[in-house]
Chain A
Amino acid sequence: MASNEEILSGLAEIVNEETGLAPESVEMDKSFTDDLDIDSISMMTIVVNAEEKFGVRIPDEEVKNLKTVGDAVNFISGAQA
């Protein structure tokens, strides 16, 4: 079980690896598309890498609901519980 801070920092690493964005720019209230300029292909790569890293399953139909970094952190946290 990872804390929300741990999930956020792990997710920031994944986003950095995929997009080159600085990890500290990946904050809870940031929108993946509007703030971080992440396209759907990068988003799917991030999702799959997050699944492996956190040992969860994020269904495809759930991905569209993950609008902000916080949405993703909360979903992963809930899925781990």
Chain B
Amino acid sequence: MPRKVVITGLGATTPIGGDVPTMWANSLKGVSGARTIEADWVQKYELPVTFAAQIATPAAEVLSRVEAKRMDPSTQFAVVASREAWRDSGIEEVDKDRLAVAFATGIGGVWTLLDAWDVLREKGPRRVLPMTVPMLMPNGPAAAVSLDLGARAGAHTPVSACASGTEALHQGLELIRSGKADVVVCGGAEAAIHPMPIAAFAAMQALSRRNDEPELASRPYDTNRDGFVMGEGAGALVIEAEEHALARGARIYAELGGTSVTADAYHITAPDPEGLGATRALKAALFDARAQAEDVVHVNAHATSTPVGDKPEYTALKAALGSHVEQVAVSATKSQTGHLLGASGAVEAVMTVLAIYDRKVPVTINLDNQDPEIPLDVVTSPRELPQGDIVALSNSFGFGGHNAVIVLRSV
């Protein structure tokens, strides 16, 4: 039997809450984090999309000025979330040579990169800041978390677009199972609400254009869904070998039972319409966790609110869970948070862990007319999960055909 891995600490900074308690309370109520963007660049560049789900608590309110100055916003979010998760874990002493980091991002330091390009063109090379490279590199969040906590058993950065955050948990589990670490701080961070990525995602027709009603724009599974809403933030989870957690008397939220990562090898951006890669990921993750389809009571779905993306996930869930899929309470939390890209899997993992721990399911908002081709049991009002042994899944899929699934189990 592989080493059992448990989750003992949670952190997040998101559009619906700057910490886990606030985010969790809001996600059970059902609030939207999407707003019109106040920045002048929306008008300046005549962006076709004028809203997004921006962070609820600016990192500058949490970090010191000097800390924030040396970090890209994506790294700032990672440090804010991982510090909360670390405090929450209650770990006081740990062998730093056995402490690792797996912190993902989809895009990396895009603000830093493009600001530096502007400085170069306007003021010349001398004015490009010496901190530019460490701030823009995609491993910046993982490196900063490692530095902050003194984690020396490796700092890893899975990059698989919108599957990145979930893939970080996959890597973390492997690090502990293989004996390379006892504790891993896993997570994902993204800060890409910048005019260029907005223009680029809009160009590929991926974003909702519901500019007049930002709060109603992210509507997974609704017949009137027209694209995703850009979000930003970070999620972080302290995962730990069970014997390590038990030895220090830790509070255990849930077991990270299994994970899986597959690739569609179908199209660079379009999901396989049959959901074959996602089906393989779901089946492999359940097998990895030694769980049966019938054990699953809840799924935090990827469900981004794009016309083409939501249905193949249903097809995959049906293929992996069989007729039991009708018994599963499904939450599409991007309806509230928007799509945090490389951070989404980590934030949704935090929510799924809490769903198991509190036996309560986050609600899906803006579902007025459910797509008849996706007949899932979507949770739209407060719902409790059953007592006893339960299993929940969180799915993430990314451009490039990346599929990542985690299986969480009550303890």
B-binding residues in A (CB < 8 A) = 18-20, 40-41, 44-45, 48, 51-52
User: Which residues of chain B have a CB within 8 Å of any CB of chain A?
Assistant: 64-66, 69, 126-127, 129-131, 134
Q: Which of B64, B65, B130, B134 contacts A45 (CB 8 A)?
A: B130
The CA-CA distance from A52 to B69 in the complex, in Å, is 19
Query: A41 contacts B130, CB within 8 Å?
Result: yes
Supplied contacts A18-B69, A20-B64, A20-B66, 14 more A-B pairs, CB within 8 Å? A18-B66, A19-B66, A40-B130, A41-B130, A41-B131, A41-B134, A44-B130, A45-B129, A45-B130, A45-B131, A48-B126, A48-B129, A51-B126, A52-B127
Nearest first, the 3 closest Cβ-Cβ pairs linking A and B are: A20-B66, A44-B130, A41-B130
Q: Which residues of B contact A52 (CB under 8 A)?
A: 127
Q: How far is the CA of A52 from the CA of B166 in the complex (A)?
A: 45
The docked-state distance in angstroms from the alpha carbon of A18 to that of B65 is 9
Q: Smallest Cβ distance from B69 to chain A, in angstroms?
A: 7
Chain B residues contacting A41 (CB-CB under 8 Å) are 130-131, 134
Measured between alpha carbons, how far is A29 from B54 in the docked complex, in Å? 46
Q: Give the docked Cα–Cα distance between A45 and B131 (Å).
A: 8
A44 and B126 CA atoms in complex are apart in Å by 10
Q: Least Cβ distance of A60 to chain B in Å?
A: 10
The winner among B69, B129, B130, B131 for most chain A CB atoms within 10 A is B130
Distance A48 CA – B126 CA, assembled complex (angstroms): 7
Residue of B nearest to A60 (CB): B126
Question: A52 to B126, alpha carbons, bound, how many Å?
Answer: 10
Q: Which residues of A contact B127 (CB under 8 A)?
A: 48, 52
Q: Can you list 12 A-B contacts (CB < 8 A)?
A: A18-B69, A20-B66, A40-B130, A41-B130, A41-B131, A41-B134, A44-B130, A45-B130, A48-B126, A48-B127, A48-B129, A51-B126
From B126, which residue of chain A is reached at the shortest CB distance? A48
Q: Whole-angstrom distance from the CB of A62 to the nearest CB of chain B?
A: 14
Q: A51 contacts which chain B residues (CB < 8 A)?
A: 126
In whole Å, how far is B204's beta carbon from the nearest beta carbon of chain A? 37
Q: Which residues of A contact B64 (CB under 8 A)?
A: 20
How far, in whole Å, are A52 and B122 apart by their CA atoms in the complex? 14
Contacts of A48 in B (CB 8 A): 126-127, 129-130
CA of A18 to CA of B64 in the docked complex: distance in angstroms?
12
Instruction: Give A41 Cβ to nearest chain B Cβ, in Å.
Output: 5
B64, closest chain A residue (CB): A20
Task: Give complex CA distance A33, B89 in Å.
Answer: 36
Report A-chain residues with C-beta under 8 Å of the C-beta of B69. Answer: 18
A1 to chain B, nearest CB (A): 23
State the Cβ distance, B68 to closest chain A Cβ, in Å: 11
**Distance of A13 from chain B, by nearest CB (Å):** 13
**How far in angstroms is the closest Cβ of chain A from B130?**
4
B67: min CB distance to chain A, Å: 9
B155 vs chain A, min Cβ distance (A):
19
Bound together, the chains give a CA A20 to CA B126 distance in angstroms of 23
User: Nearest residue in B to A40 (C-beta to C-beta)?
Assistant: B130
A39 to B171, CA, bound (A): 33
In the assembled complex, the Cα of A16 lies from the Cα of B126 at a distance in Å of: 21
Q: Nearest residue in B to A20 (C-beta to C-beta)?
A: B66
How far apart are A75's CB and chain B's nearest CB, in angstroms? 17
Report the minimal beta-carbon distance from B127 to chain A, rounded to whole angstroms: 6
A41 to B132, alpha carbons, bound, how many Å? 10
Q: Please, how many angstroms separate the alpha-carbon atoms of A52 and B66 in the complex?
A: 20
Per the bound structure, the CA–CA distance linking A20 and B130 in Å amounts to 18
Are B131 and A20 in contact (CB-based, < 8 A)? Answer: no
Residues from chain A with a CB closer than 8 A to the CB of B66 are 18-20
What separation, in Å, do the CA atoms of A27 and B106 have in the docked complex? Answer: 44
CA distance A44 to B70 in the complex (A): 13
Residue numbers in B under 8 Å from A45 (CB-CB): 129-131
What separation, in Å, do the CA atoms of A45 and B130 have in the docked complex? 6
Chain B residues with Cβ under 8 A from A40's Cβ? 130
Kindly list chain A residues whose C-beta atoms are within 8 Å of the C-beta of B134. 41
Contacts of B65 in A (CB 8 A): 20
B135 to chain A, nearest CB (A): 10
Q: Please, how many angstroms separate the alpha-carbon atoms of A19 and B66 in the complex? A: 6
Q: How long is the Cα–Cα vector from A48 to B129 in the complex, in angstroms?
A: 8
B residues within 8 A CB of A20? 64-66
What is the chain B residue whose CB lies nearest that of A51? Answer: B126
Determine the distance from Cα of A40 to Cα of B130 in the docked complex, in whole angstroms.
9
